Amino acid sequence: KTFVESGQLGIFANGYWGHPAYKLPPEVNLLAVAHYLEALEWQKEIVKIHAIF
C-alpha cells in the first residue's frame, strides 16, 4: 500500500523526464523521430528476412 501511494509505479518513475537538459529544439526532435522511423523500417525488413529463412 505504501508503494502504491508513493506514486512511482512505472519503470521510468526515476527517469529524467522534464529535466531541462533533455529539452531539444524542434529541428533536433524531428531528426530524432526521422531516424527512429528509419530504424523501424530497417527492423521490419530484417524480420521479413528472418521469417523467410
Q: Are 8 and 14 in contact (CB under 8 A)?
A: yes
Residue 14 placed within a domain: no
| 13 Cβ contact list (under 8 Å, min separation 6) | 7
32 near 24, Cβ under 8 Å?
yes
In a domain, 12, yes or no: no
pLDDT in tens, the chain (53 residues): 676 677 666 655 666 667 787 788 999 999 999 999 999 999 999 999 888 87
- Which class for 1: exposed (0-12), middle (13-18), buried (19 or more C-beta within 10 A)? exposed
Domain span including residue 49: 24-53
pLDDT at 20: 81
* Residue 11 located in a structural domain: no
The reply to whether 9 falls in a domain is: no
* Residue 31 placed within a domain: yes
What the block records as the C-alpha cell of 16 is: 529524467
DSSP H stretches of helix in the chain: 2-5, 26-52
How many domains does one find in the chain?
1
